[in-house]
Amino acid sequence: MANPRVDEETPLLFESSKKALKRTPLPTLQISIVLLLLRCEPFANNSILPYINQAKLGITGGDERKVGYYAGLIQSSFSVMEAMTILQWGRISDRVGRKPVLLIGLTGNVLSILCFGLSRTFWALVVSRCLCGLLNGNLGVVKTVMGELTDSTNRADGFAYVSVVWNVGSTIAPLIGGSLSHPHERFPGVFTSQFWRGFPYFLPSFAIATFTIFCVLITLFLFNEASNSTLPKHHKQPVSVSSSGISTDDEEPLPLNKLLTYPVVLSVCNYFCIALMDRAFLSLAPLVMSTPVELGGLGCNPATIGYVLGGFGAYIGIVQIAFFSRLVRRFGERRIVITGVLTLTTSSLLFPMTSVITRKNGVTWVVWCLFGFALSLRAVTSMSFNCIFVYITTSPPNKSSLGATNGVAQTMVSVARAVGPGLATSLFALSLEKNLLGGYAVYVVLFLFSCISLLFAVRLPPQVWDEMD
């Protein structure tokens, strides 16, 4: 539906008014708590990346070409269960408040990561990841709280911190996983008990669980839901008109059929596409690094994988804090989203290039430069996530449906995160096993999907939804 107030002069008026607005200061304590909680999910998910391709527990029968099938299943099981439940957690948070849901999610994280560390069979690993996804709806709820703590003048700054903290978590987590796995081998003078030989991944799991318990206590005693205006509201307010042109009661959460307006659907579709591609490449990176050189991989051990992924996570965080807010004010959210999709397209070309060179000449400095450049492009991809968060936060027909909107978004992204790793790693394994397209079929599929993603990105409006009213 066309906005009657939009004409050929609107962008100029918008830019001038946007610059004139004074940015609202962020509420430091509550924002800090939200950002602390946000680290728990990348800690739980990314700490397993350095050793997930070694934690097969004998299921591959010694065939290294089949590793991708089982590694993808372990990584995807969390997202499958999260996709089935996260919308309900978001809707529950709209009615009972954010804090109870956050506490349940954190407790679920603790239980699941400890179960993962104590698993002795492949299927026990899968069950532990399913438990984490089933009990954890926190990612959507945390983003909902961030949206409620910010306004149009400081939202880009708030979500820039979201990305920075996520990447800090993604930086530290592989270092923890890679450095603390197999402690009986890495620190034989300290970890001498047979327990550490039988459970080589318990120490990194215990470290992550300890941090999460600390977050439970912080949430319980310091998270002030009333001051955040995240408590459910039960009184009626006058009817208002949203950016989608739908008249809504501003205080009542909407049913799903009224929630799925064009702004919500388009924002969520973009989020889904970028998340699927990003998770696919994030899963491929450690798999390529751990694959033997004769199969086109880099032949790295878990510690090296952890250091490389951690180092690039730190780089991405620095880029975010230094440039994101400035780039948004200079170029706008839409251009950054489009650029982020184009970087994923580029990565789908760079990964097979490294494999071709490795098979011919081994792991040379050229290989590391190309591979490092492909990883460095994730800084732009991460910025595009921030911009999509802003579109999603401003897209619901009323404010009382923000939790459900983020629930819908995270449901779709959980599907993407379930499909992305499993699809990418399985296609990688199948490409090697069957020599599909010379072993590079997985990258052809990802390139084609990135082209589809670009079609959604270009349909985003230059201004986010609440600024179009």
How far apart, in whole angstroms, are the C-alpha atoms of residue 254 and residue 244?
A: 14
Choose one of 185, 205, 224: the last residue of a domain.
224
Same domain for 73 and 172, yes or no, is yes
21 is a domain residue = no
Q: Which of 411, 467, 102 is nearest to 259 (CA)?
A: 411
Q: pLDDT (tens digit, 9 = 90+) per residue, 82-98?
A: 778 888 888 888 888 88
| Stretch 322-348: mean pLDDT | 88
Same domain for 341 and 275, yes or no, is yes
Burial class (CB in 10 A: 0-12, 13-18, 19+), 433: middle
Q: Which pLDDT belongs to residue 260?
A: 86
Q: What is the CATH number of the domain that holds 186?
A: 1.20.1250.20
Q: Which of 292, 284, 300, 306 is nearest to 422 (CA)?
A: 284
Q: What is the CATH number of the domain that holds 267?
A: 1.20.1250
Q: pLDDT (tens digit, 9 = 90+) per residue, 367-415?
A: 889 988 988 888 888 889 888 888 988 888 877 777 788 888 888 887 8
| Stretch 169-184: mean pLDDT | 83
2 is a domain residue = no
How far apart, in whole angstroms, are the C-alpha atoms of residue 457 and residue 335?
A: 9
Domain that holds residue 443: 255-301+329-468
5 is a domain residue = no
How far apart, in whole angstroms, are the C-alpha atoms of residue 76 and residue 82?
A: 10
- Total number of domains constituting the chain: 2
Q: Which two tokens stand for residue 396?
A: 């619901």
Q: Which pLDDT belongs to residue 63?
A: 57
How far from the centroid of its chain's Cα atoms is residue 94's Cα?
22
Same domain for 267 and 119, yes or no, is no
Q: Which pLDDT belongs to residue 217?
A: 95
Predicted TM-score (pTM) of this structure: 0.68
